Amino acid sequence: MAHVNVFDTTLRDGEQSAGVNLDRLEKVEIAKQLERLGVDIMEAGFPASSQADFEAVKEIADTVRGCSVTGLARANKRDIDIAWEALKGGAEPRLHVFIATSPIHMTHKLKKTPDEVVEKAVEMVAYAKEKFPHVQFSAEDALRSDQDFLVHIIEKVIDAGASVINLPDTVGFTTPDEIGRLFRYVRENVPNIDRAILSTHNHDDLGMAVSNSLAAIENGARQIEGTINGIGERAGNAALEEIAVALKIRQDRFDFETGLVLKEIKRTSDLVSRLTGMQVPGNKAVVGRNAFAHESGIHQDGMLKESTTYEIITPAMVGIDSNRMVLGKHSGRHAFKQKAEELGFELTENKLKEAFESFKTLTGKKKEVTDDDLFAILTDTQTENEDQPKYELKAFQVQYGSINRPTATVLLTRPDGEEVEKANTGEGSVEAIYNTLDDLIDADVHLQDYQLSSIGKGRDALAEVHVQLTVDGVKASGRGSAQDVLEASAHAFLNAVNRTLYRSKMENYQKVQV
């Protein structure tokens, strides 16, 4: 079977989803899980876009050794130089450089003639090749580009040193038959195409990203680009987990394979969902909570007699284990550490101690602590910035009744260590808490979005809250979990504010470095 490389862009294109703002620790944690998943290439970010992104890409490149780490760059020397500084410590550094090739982009965005675009592309690919052993060239908006112009520019950038040619459907415009024809045309008309790998990168604006990716593979693409859970700008990208499982299940149709470890799919999906705050729809293929649920009587009867009557993918294939060990209040530190490692977490002694204390606190409230509960505790602990001055919730109380206006009293520790306490009201309990926190925080804070969900099932399930705020005009996202909805809401609010403090610290660091 022919091997197809998997190029994951969750940390770059995926993070461009509206409302998603991953910090350095969160990016590194996702990167480690993507490495366990077995991706071939990991696009860690856009190093030239900000100091924070540069630092995250550099740490990922220096940490990850199981795959090639790449970064995005526009076709200019500054972007390429910054990307090299971030990526040069990687096991297999590569650069992803792009320039638009469609008439609408060249005319209205770049304001360049086709000849000028070719000249710039060739110059920058050649410049990048002086530094990077692998250079990928992307023809932005390729599916709306003139095919003969594509053939011309592809031939030139391959001669300049590009070893991967990506033909992205940047706006999710194409169909499977159209993308198939384009890839065939390129293969048949670019004379030096044998010196490069063709890659496909599809957006889901018309709901065809996965189908288009599979069609491109059938017609010569040997690299697929996408994201976990299909996240990304607008309607998102092709969902890598769907492509990988489709290639596995339909081997009768697709004589191709990836190197993905399929049993790591669910864990990867859960981590990305939790850290980005983008919930996976229940009916989402492969990883949705209903993907293996059967409610129809006819379906249930068939499943009891023979599972393959209605189930083409087994839960175990993608990492859903029905025989998971449950920890409780009598479980010790050793069992907890072993379970954390099974869930894919490598914690320092301090982080392990902190997570174990949170676990013990939870066992006093819940009879059984599930894998989902542990995953939430470990994720929060692992991605918390240590030794960072922050606002910390010490205590709160809410008075509420059907005929009384809700009133919240909050005791808070400020970043300078001072304890402050105030009370305020609201139309509801959450609003009362948020109004009080707003009074206690030295910033202009506005709530933009609030999402509440549960972790696991049952009356004692943990509540998880995701919020989006603006803090002094800066967008910030935050998350919090607790058995009490109001406590989870308070933690999410403060998490967003503290992330803004950390970002300001990074920006000040950037000014000092400059």
Q: Would you list which residues are annotated within the binding site for Mn(2+)?
A: 13, 201, 203, 237
CB-based contacts of 485, cutoff 8 Å, min separation 6: 430, 452, 463, 465
* Cβ atoms 12, 474 nearer than 8 A: no
List, as residue ranges, the binding site.
Answer: 13, 201, 203, 237
Q: Locate 492 and state its tokens.
A: 């999410």
Q: Locate 209 and state its tokens.
A: 């990203």
Q: Which residue has the tokens 């894919």?
A: 344
Which helix H or strand E contains 225, and what residues bound it? Answer: strand 223-226
Pick from 315, 209, 229: nearest CA to 269: 229
Residue type (1 letter), 364: G
Pick from 451, 466, 270, 291: nearest CA to 371: 270
CA distances, 216 to each of 27, 50, 114, 162 (Å): 29, 33, 25, 20
The packing angle between helices 371-382 and 24-37, to 10°, is 130
Dist CA 18 CA 380 (whole Å): 22
CA distances, 318 to each of 51, 158, 467, 495 (Å): 36, 38, 29, 31
Three-class secondary structure of residue 27 per DSSP:
helix
Residue type (1 letter), 464: E
Q: Which residue has the tokens 């505790």?
A: 377
CB-based contacts of 194, cutoff 8 Å, min separation 6: none
CA angle 455, 22, 95 (to 5 degrees): 130
- In terms of Cβ atoms closer than 10 Å to its own Cβ (0-12, 13-18, 19+), residue 126 is middle
Edge-to-edge strand ranges of the sheet holding 445-455: 445-455, 462-471, 474-482
Q: What are phi and psi of 388, to 5 degrees?
A: -105, 125
Q: Is the CA virtual torsion 238, 57, 391, 511 positive or negative?
A: negative
Pick from 119, 59, 50, 111: nearest CA to 79: 50
